[in-house]
């Protein structure tokens, strides 16, 4: 399968919102994604395409020399095929190009698939945010990857 990752554009937002709704119990709105693409100067979002169709996306906020991954999601029928891996690799590569040395994220305590992927790419658990998720009060694992430039 040929997976192409590129910067997200305004034209991608409707497909991204569809994936967001499928993947998360408290999805971001279309307006939130439009603001991220058009107004948030700290945001960088990427989409993964297969045959010209958006099948996944990932985003982060770039603050000084750190990146905070806001979300990564893959369309259900494309999960387990390396799409999330390619998105994460693209975010890490972008950080390296911009001399951003550290990345962080929160992940549901129950999301072992995502945690395994993040660990594979050098993210380490640094703590827990209790009752972080508003839908069910689940804890979030806080993970960091440092020394991206080395």
Q: What is the pLDDT of residues 122-134, one digit of tens each?
A: 999 999 999 999 8
The DSSP-derived string for 16-44 is: HHHHHHHH-SSPPPHHHHHHHHHT-TTEE
Whether 106 is catalytic is yes
Mean pLDDT estimate for the chain: 96
In a domain? residue 44: yes
In a domain? residue 23: yes
In a domain? residue 127: yes
Per the structure, the complete domain to which residue 83 belongs is given by: 4-145
In a domain? residue 45: yes
This prediction has a pTM of 0.95
How far apart are the two ends of the chain, measured CA to CA in Å?
A: 31
Active-site residue, selected from the candidate residues 20, 106, 126, 133 = 106
Active-site residue, selected from the candidate residues 118, 121, 125, 133 = 118
pLDDT band for 135, please (50, 70, 90 cuts). Answer: confident
In a domain? residue 49: yes
In a domain? residue 150: no
Q: Domain of 107: which CATH number?
A: 3.40.630.30
Domain count, the chain: 1
pLDDT at position 115, please? 97
């Amino acid at each position: 399968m040929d997976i192409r990752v590129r910067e997200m554009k305004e034209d991608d937002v409707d497909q991204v919102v569809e994936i967001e709704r499928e993947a998360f119990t408290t999805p971001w709105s279309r307006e939130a994604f439009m603001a991220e693409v058009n107004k948030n100067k700290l945001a960088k979002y990427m989409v993964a395409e297969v045959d010209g169709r958006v099948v996944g996306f990932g985003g982060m906020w770039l603050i000084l020399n750190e990146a905070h991954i806001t979300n990564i999601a893959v369309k259900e029928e494309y999960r387990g095929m390396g799409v999330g891996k390619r998105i994460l690799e693209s975010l890490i590569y972008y950080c390296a190009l911009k001399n951003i040395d550290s990345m962080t994220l929160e992940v549901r305590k129950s999301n072992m698939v995502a945690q395994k992927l993040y660990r594979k790419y050098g993210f380490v658990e640094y703590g827990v945010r209790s009752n972080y998720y508003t839908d069910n009060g689940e804890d979030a694992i806080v993970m960091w990857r440092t020394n991206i430039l080395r």
